[in-house]
Amino acid sequence: AGSTVGRGPLFFYSRLRSPRATMVLHRWYRGDRLEHEATLSIRANPGIGYRIYSRKTMTADSAGDWRVELLTADGQLLHEQAFTVR
Please give the pLDDT value at position 62: 94
pTM for this predicted structure: 0.89
Please give the pLDDT value at position 5: 86
Residue (of 36, 21, 22, 23) closest to 69 by Cα position:
36
- Which tens digits make up the pLDDT trace of 18-77? 999 999 999 999 999 999 999 999 989 888 888 999 999 999 899 999 999 999 999 999
Please give the pLDDT value at position 48: 84
In DSSP notation, 11-73 reads EEEEEEEESS-EEEEEEEEETTEEEEEEEEEE--EEEEEEEEEEEEEE-GGG-EEEEEEEEET
CA–CA distance, 78 with 49 (Å, rounded to integer): 15
DSSP 74: T
